[in-house]
Amino acid sequence: MKEQLAEIIAKNVEGLSPDDILSLLEVPPKPELGDYAFPCFRLAKTMHKAPNLIAEDLKAAITGSLDFIDEIKVQGAYCNFYIKKDLFVKTMLEAACKENFGGSDTGAGQAICIDYSSPNVAKNFHVGHLRTTIIGNSLYKIYSKLGYTVHRINHLGDWGTQFGKLIVAYKNWGSKEAVEERGIAELMELYVKFHTEAEQDETLIEQARAWFVKMEQGDEEALSIWQWFKDISMIEYRRAYQLLGVEFDSYNGESFYRDKTPAIIERLENAHLLKESEGAYIVDLEEYDMAPCIIKKADGGSIYATRDLAAIFYRKETYDFVKCLYVTGQEQKLHFAQVFKVIELLGNDWAASQLIHIPYGLVSLEGAKLSTRSGNIIYAEDILLEAISKVKEVIEEKNPELENKDEVAKMVGVGAIIFNDLYNQRIKDVSFKWEKILNFEGETGPYVQYTYARCSSLLRAVPDFDEAADVDYSLVTDLEAMELLKAINKFPKAVADAAEKYEPFLISRFAIEVAQAFNRFYNSSRINVPETNIRNARLKLTAVTRKTLRDALALLGIDCPEQM
Ligand code: ARG
């Protein structure tokens, strides 16, 4: 309808194409102002007429020529179009019923790499990693819905001099049993111990360096201890991933690129980009107002940035990506700017548009009283488990009869954390206030899930209702029903915008808008009424709401319980 409207407006004005008009056509902020509004300001210049007169003439010219238009009103410089309600409802409902509603195939045949989560082996999976995991997973779902082939890459921090230190600490003060029993907590303590001891004993640093050199040279003992630390760490990471329902296509971390860095150094040399500086090798980026990108340390050790350079070429060759996204905290902004610039300087003009750093804000834990395992370190897993147990308490109290309490508590508890994380722009800090996150009536995950469960229960109550059947659309043209449908119909735009801006919060806001609109509809009209026609029409709207809420939450990485 919007297209047809744009088409006919274009025929009756000067200087604007149907596409221009399509992007100018607005959905008025209030339903009293109609379903579409066309602002005539921009035409005043080309048509040498006052905008309100243009609007009047447009009204006169179009009236009667489109059968779906009920009325046209001129308000100020706007031409407001009122669509015939039953036709409008029919179009919107039919669109929303489609299988892949909200999605598209814009990305067909194109690959996107998303590098996210990527914890540092032997270090805990903390709240910051929780954010990258949640954001990355949502971007994966969003891009997949648009038809892209998405490669989910966990670029584990599993290489570097810290492993030399860890081996020395383990050999001096560790035990196999303690590491096996306490996992990462033990490894972190060993690491801390190394640093306190090294203050007294300088030879420790030398030993650590020697062990890392052994690792780089493929020494069997060194590598087997390293691999073991990695396996121990992965057990804990996987527990968090399982709670979150997150998976990866590749765990090629930093160690994977260790034999691919010499080629990078060679490329840089050939391009005359490598400079010696105090024994180290760097790429000078002064011209771009950046600190130099260090490629090789004075002691010959390879580093983080070099492995990232290698990873980019590897990914480009392996996946032929149109975009490679990096979801990490803001503190790595400079690192990525440097690495991307070096790639560009190597003659890859795609770097600027295809390599994208996606930073996010901090997590503040005030108000989230958490029992910590060791010291003041907050494990992501503990936050998730705490959320689940809090939800379980609520369920025990409010719905003790519920059959699959544990399953529902997990969906709602984890969903609450994810939703809270994705409810604002990425760059904003996220705060943890349990009362807020878990409030079933606030702008929260549980509220949307609750609305979904309400839709499910309404549909369960009428088992013979056929979702696919046509209904009498004129029976759901009341204000609340129309507002609900209009909210639902924003889904495709929300998904496209979220992808374009790398902002999942556009989806969570959308879900809240639909849930609120549904609850207004639900409060204004009883759904399960005796009149079959009315009941079916309202149930159809309920079914479409249910499907849309489920699909929107799925894009955030949240599951929906049928009852809660
Ligand atoms: N391991 C890093 C960290 O925990 C994140 C790695 C991000 N990805 C990358 N390709 N550099 O901070």
Q: What is the pLDDT of residues 491-514, one digit of tens each?
A: 999 999 999 999 999 999 999 999
Q: Is the CB of 328 under 6 A from ligand 1?
A: yes
* From 118, 125, 355, mutation site for ligand 1 pocket: most ligand atoms within 8 A of C-beta: 118
pLDDT in tens, 534-560: 999 999 999 999 999 999 999 999 999
Q: Is the CB of 155 under 6 A from ligand 1?
A: yes
How many A from CA of 553 to the centre of ligand 1?
27
Alpha helix locations (H) across 146-273? Answer: 162-173, 176-182, 184-200, 203-216, 220-244, 261-270
Q: Is the CB of 118 under 6 A from ligand 1?
A: yes
The count of C-alpha atoms lying within 13 angstroms of the C-alpha of 255, restricted to the half-sphere facing its C-beta, is: 20
pLDDT in tens, 29-88: 998 999 999 999 999 988 999 999 999 999 999 999 998 999 999 999 999 999 999 999
Where residue 367 falls among pLDDT bands split at 50, 70, 90?
A: low
The count of C-alpha atoms lying within 13 angstroms of the C-alpha of 345, restricted to the half-sphere facing its C-beta, is: 22
Radius of gyration of the chain (CA): 29
Note the pLDDT of residue 374.
Answer: 47
How many A from CA of 6 to the centre of ligand 1?
47
What three-state secondary structure class fits 378?
coil
Which residue, judged by its Cα, is nearest atom 4 of ligand 1?
119
| Segment (H or E) for 442 | none
Where residue 372 falls among pLDDT bands split at 50, 70, 90?
A: very low
pLDDT in tens, 511-539: 999 999 999 999 999 999 999 999 999 99
Residue 442 neighbours by CB distance under 10 Å? 14
How many A from CA of 509 to the centre of ligand 1?
29
Residue found by looking up tokens 């499910």 in the block? 456
Which residue, judged by its Cα, is nearest atom 8 of ligand 1?
155
Pairing of strands 321-327, 111-115: parallel
Note the pLDDT of residue 92.
Answer: 93
Note whether 411 and 560 are within 8 A (CB): yes
How many A from CA of 328 to the centre of ligand 1?
7
Q: Is the CB of 157 under 6 A from ligand 1?
A: yes
Note whether 82 and 73 are within 8 A (CB): yes
How many A from CA of 338 to the centre of ligand 1?
14
pLDDT in tens, 450-488: 999 999 999 999 999 999 999 999 999 999 999 999 999
* From 114, 155, 260, 321, mutation site for ligand 1 pocket: most ligand atoms within 8 A of C-beta: 155
Distance CA 556, CA 563 (A): 20
Q: What is the mean pLDDT of residues 393-402?
A: 94
Chain centroid, CA 431 distance in Å:
18
Note the pLDDT of residue 300.
Answer: 73
Give whole-number Cα distances, 120 to 117, 255, 393, in Å: 9, 11, 34
Which residue, judged by its Cα, is nearest atom 1 of ligand 1?
157
Which residue, judged by its Cα, is nearest atom 9 of ligand 1?
155
- The 10 Å CB-count burial string (b at 16+, else e) for 474-505 is ebbbeebbbbbbbbbbbbbebbbebbeebbbb
The count of C-alpha atoms lying within 13 angstroms of the C-alpha of 473, restricted to the half-sphere facing its C-beta, is: 14
| Three-state SS sequence of 348-362 | CCCHHHHEEEECCCC
- Whole-model pTM? 0.93
pLDDT in tens, 175-224: 999 999 999 999 999 999 999 999 999 999 999 999 999 999 999 999 99
**DSSP assignments along 18-67, one per residue:** HHHHHHH-B--SSGGG-SEEEE-TTHHHHHTS-HHHHHHHHHHHHTTS-T
Note the pLDDT of residue 369.
Answer: 52
Q: Is the CB of 338 under 6 A from ligand 1?
A: no
Q: What is the mean pLDDT of residues 265-283?
A: 95
Among residues 490, 535, 454, the alpha carbon closest in space to that of 92 is found at 490
Q: Please report the atom of ligand 1 found closest to the CA of residue 123.
A: 4
Give whole-number Cα distances, 89 to 135, 208, 223, in Å: 34, 70, 65
How many A from CA of 463 to the centre of ligand 1?
50
pLDDT in tens, 116-173: 999 999 998 988 899 999 999 999 999 999 999 999 999 999 999 999 999 999 999 9
Q: Is the pLDDT of residue 373 over 60?
A: no
Q: Is the pLDDT of residue 301 over 80?
A: no
How many A from CA of 2 to the centre of ligand 1?
45
Q: Is the CB of 158 under 6 A from ligand 1?
A: no
* From 156, 328, 360, mutation site for ligand 1 pocket: most ligand atoms within 8 A of C-beta: 328
Helix, strand, coil percentages (3-state) for the chain, rounded to 5, are 60, 10, 30
Note whether 232 and 183 are within 8 A (CB): yes
Residue found by looking up tokens 């409060």 in the block? 523
Note the pLDDT of residue 244.
Answer: 98
Contacts of 74 (CB under 8 A, 6+ apart): 52, 55, 56, 59, 80
Note the pLDDT of residue 298.
Answer: 83
Contacts of 481 (CB under 8 A, 6+ apart): 89, 521, 525, 538, 541
Q: What does the block give as tokens for 90?
A: 């029919």
Q: Please report the atom of ligand 1 found closest to the CA of residue 327.
A: 7
Residue 556 neighbours by CB distance under 10 Å? 26
Q: Is the dihedral of CA 115, 121, 123, 125 positive or negative?
A: positive
How many A from CA of 470 to the centre of ligand 1?
51
Q: Please report the atom of ligand 1 found closest to the CA of residue 335.
A: 11
Q: What does the block give as tokens for 135?
A: 């954001």
Rounded percentage of the chain residues whose pLDDT exceeds 70 = 98
Taken as a whole, the chain contains a residue count of 564
Q: Is the CB of 124 under 6 A from ligand 1?
A: no
CA angle 189, 191, 196 (to 5 degrees): 90
pLDDT in tens, 302-317: 789 999 999 999 999 9
Task: Kindly report the backbone phi and psi dihedral angles of residue 398, in degrees, each rounded to the nearest multiple of 5, phi listed first.
Answer: -90, -30
Q: What does the block give as tokens for 437?
A: 């996150």
Q: Is the CB of 326 under 6 A from ligand 1?
A: yes
Q: Is the pLDDT of residue 409 over 90?
A: yes
Give whole-number Cα distances, 214 to 34, 268, 486, in Å: 73, 26, 64
Note whether 295 and 274 are within 8 A (CB): yes
